[in-house]
């Protein structure tokens, strides 16, 4: 039994040791023959390619399996147009409405790498401010804020002004209103000292 195992191991090792790449120079190479050959363009065009719609049977099956699939929706639209019943020719649908990127007019995204270009890029402002840049709009807002801060307080209420020293009571009108709205506390007699 021992000799059988040794002989098997030697036979296995010797077959792998003697393996070598084929000598292509001395052995002829026979090309494989393609028995069927490429069908390619010899096949007739499919129904879907010819009429731009799925066949009636395949569309009906796909409608029952997955009604929201492209095949099923295309079949349903063709069925509503009676394309299968009347054997209508190829139909290509056209949709004449603005695309979202045309309707929104948001413009391209701002290049965050070149922030120096923000002075020359138009901003996404209303139509009457379309020719302004973003920097112009920020400067206008800053100027308006400065004007509001520097304007005299003509329309301000008396509570907005600080109390002037020596005139009237120390408490302002707002403070008087706040104290007037407070719930009156009951007056309690002071405790007698024992």
Please answer whether residues 163 and 172 qualify as being in contact, where contact means their C-beta atoms are separated by less than 8 angstroms: yes
Which pTM does this prediction carry? 0.34
pLDDT at position 148 over 80: no
**DSSP string for 165-192:** TTSS-SS-HHHHHHHHTSPPPPP-PPPP
**DSSP string for 17-41:** HS-----TTTS--PPPP-SS---GG
Per-residue model confidence as pLDDT tens digits over 100-144:
777 877 777 766 666 666 666 655 656 666 667 777 778 888 888
- How many Cβ atoms are within 10 Å of 15's Cβ, its own excluded? 9
Task: Determine phi and psi for 133, rounding to 5 degrees.
Answer: -90, 170
Q: Residue ranges per domain, the chain?
A: 45-94, 109-147
């Amino acid at each position: 039994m021992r000799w059988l195992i040794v002989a098997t191991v030697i036979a296995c090792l010797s077959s792998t040791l003697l393996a070598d790449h084929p000598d292509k120079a001395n052995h002829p190479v026979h090309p494989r023959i393609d028995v069927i050959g490429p069908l390619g363009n010899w096949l007739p065009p499919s129904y879907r390619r010819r009429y731009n719609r799925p066949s009636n049977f395949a569309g009906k099956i796909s409608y029952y399996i997955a009604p929201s699939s492209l095949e099923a929706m295309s079949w349903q639209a063709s069925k509503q147009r009676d394309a299968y019943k009347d054997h209508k020719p190829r139909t290509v649908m056209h949709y004449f409405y603005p695309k979202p990127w045309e309707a929104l007019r948001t413009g391209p995204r701002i290049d965050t790498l070149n922030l120096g270009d923000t002075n020359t890029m138009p901003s996404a402002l209303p139509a009457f401010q379309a020719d302004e840049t973003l920097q112009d709009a920020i400067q206008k807002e800053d100027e308006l804020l400065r004007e509001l801060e520097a304007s005299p307080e003509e329309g301000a209420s008396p509570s907005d002004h600080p109390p002037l020293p020596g005139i009237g009571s120390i408490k302002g009108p707002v403070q008087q209103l706040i104290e007037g709205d407070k719930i009156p506390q009951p007056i309690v007699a002071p405790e007698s000292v024992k």
